[in-house]
Amino acid sequence: MKTLIKNGTLITASDTFLADILIEDEKISRIGLNLEADPDHQVDATGKLVMPGGIDPHVHLDLPMFDTVSSDDHYTGHKAAAFGGTTTAMDFVVLENEGFDHSVDLWMKKAEKAAIDYSFHMNLTRFDEKIASSIPSLMEMGIQTLKVFTAYNGRLRLDDGGIFKALQIARDNGMLVMAHCENGDVVETLTEQALAENRTSPIWHALTRPAWGAVEASLRMAAMAEQADAPVYIVHMNAGGEVDMLQYARERGVKVMGETCPQYLFFTLDHIGRPDGSKWICSPPMRTELDNARLWEGLRQGILQTVGTDHCPFFYDGTKPIVYEGSEIAIPGKELGRHDFTKIPNGLPGIQDRMPVLWTYGVRAGYITPNQFVAYMSTNPAKIFGLYPQKGALAPGSDADIVIWDPEKQVKYGVAHSHHRTDYNLYEGWELTGYPEKVFLRGKLIVDGEEWKGKRGDGKFLKRHEGEVL
């Protein structure tokens, strides 16, 4: 099967140029001007932009939480991702008592319905000698990353000694540690005090997780990485001070990288304080406009390395069904915490929104260049997480994960336009200019305008190799 994409403007992380792309079977075979071929299909991309498919390095699909489960699974979440231009998503495996093999098998089973390509990170939420000796086996499974937490005391958190040992093991095995950075002791203390004073509205979720906890934990994680001589990747940076700490550490040669998410660029504590504030509940929480601005600086100046979504959606009102693919569905959601912020499921929809929203309000607004957009959305995650140049590249031999982008298409965005399996969208009514027109997964057209051509099981598990430190 041959597909020829003609007359497009190719955008990579480093270059912008006119060219044709010839796809043979699942790979890009040739790139050049005026390619001669006898394709089975030809696509005219005149006036359009051609980019590598997006890679979302941070999603949570089919994740149990607070007597419910995140409302997108590995089909519905992947379908939404594809409509937004993302063709690879990386989920997190929950570590069960039975160990790594059993835990990965459970997530592999969940992902049998995958609609785009996918990979896994492993949550490292316990640490002992048995766990330590088993960590290298993850690389044999194609899992290159461990995620540790400095919060969620008694549930997910490791002490600093366990984190430091994990960094050493990762260093010795070509692996990467990812870190959720907050001060768990402060969070637990403030939460207990808030509940004792009957402060239970959604805003207290944010007020009990102060930004300074994220700032000091980020620097502490960078310091441990330097002492272990190991790389670390700090997830969902949300505070301006975290960008300051990232810059401070990187200028001193520490192998630390940072990710932010769209919600931390656009929303603030004021949104959580609204009557429908539970829609904005995630961990860590949104901060202030000054934090938004510093995060944008971090992207513009190249201090940050990626933009993930931390996609983990829940219904706003799970007592009322929505119609998804012709059938009604309702899943308990944010209403579970209507009287207690500690019972509101933590998480937001975002996997479809990331690329269209960042194009309009990042590229078109002048905060980042089109090449930076491709770097943050695709190429940098591919390099960091051991997928480049199979993914994240427009190059001969790379997988033909390709987005044809209409830079002038106007969309009034919101829940009616998105394909997340939930009942709200954070960007309701936002005016977007620039949107995916066609999306190819390994050469197969899976999104054609508003038509879904993908299916359950289209996605493949990606075994990853040692990544790069950017």
pLDDT tens digits, 411-464? 999 999 999 999 999 999 999 999 999 999 999 999 999 999 999 999 999 999
Q: What is the mean pLDDT of residues 44-49?
A: 98
Whether residues 185 and 74 fall in one domain: yes
- Please check whether residue 268 lies inside any domain of the structure: yes
Rg, the chain, Cα only: 21
Domain enclosing residue 102, as ranges: 54-384
Same domain? For 35 and 60 the reply is no
The pLDDT assigned to 151 comes to: 97
Residues 118, 212 within the same domain: yes
Q: Evaluate if residue 73 carries a pLDDT over 90.
A: yes
Task: Say whether both 321 and 409 belong to one domain.
Answer: no
Residue 98 lies in a domain: yes
How many distinct structural domains can be found in the chain?
Answer: 2
Is residue 419 in some structural domain?
no
CATH of the domain at 136: 3.20.20.140
Same domain, 112 and 139: yes
Instruction: Answer yes or no: do 36 and 172 share one domain.
Output: no
- Report yes or no on 32 lying in a domain: yes
Q: In this structure, are 375 and 409 located in the same domain?
A: no
pLDDT at 10: 98
Residues 38 and 171 in one domain: no
Angle between helices 211-228 and 240-251 (to 10 degrees): 20
Which tens digit of pLDDT belongs to each residue from 250-280? 999 999 999 999 999 999 999 999 999 999 9
- For residues 40 and 137, membership in a common domain is answered with no
For residue 8, what is the domain's CATH number? 2.30.40.10
Q: How far apart are CA 120 and CA 4, in angstroms?
A: 32
Give the model's pLDDT for residue 36: 87
In the predicted structure, residue 468 carries a pLDDT above the cut 90: yes
Q: Is residue 470 part of a domain?
A: no
Same domain, 9 and 90: no
Same domain? For 155 and 130 the reply is: yes
The answer to whether residue 422 is domain-embedded is no
Report if residue 70 sits inside a domain.
Answer: yes
Q: Does 358 map to a domain?
A: yes
3-state secondary structure the chain: CEEEEEEEEEECCCCEEEEEEEEECCEEEEEECCCCCCCCEEEECCCCEEEECEEECCECCCCEECCEECCCCCCHHHHHHHHCCEEEEEEEECCCCCCHHHHHHHHHHHHHHCCCEEEEEEECCCCCHHHHHHCCHHHHCCCCEEEEECCCCCCCCCCHHHHHHHHHHHHHCCCEEEEECCCHHHHHHHHHHHHHCCCCCCHHHHHCCCHHHHHHHHHHHHHHHHHHCCCEEEEEECCHHHHHHHHHHHHCCCCEEEEECCHHHHCEHHHHCCCCHHHHCCCCCCECHHHHHHHHHHHHCCCCCEECCCECCCCCCCCCCEEECCEEECCCCHHHHCCCHHHCCCCECCCCCHHHHHHHHHHCCCCCCHHHHHHHHHHHHHHHCCCCCCCCCCCCCCECCEEEEEEEEEEECCCCCCCCCCCCCCCCCCEEEEEEEEEEECCEEEEECCEECCCCCCCCECCCCCCCCC
223 and 352 share one domain: yes
pLDDT tier at 77, thresholds 50, 70, 90: very high
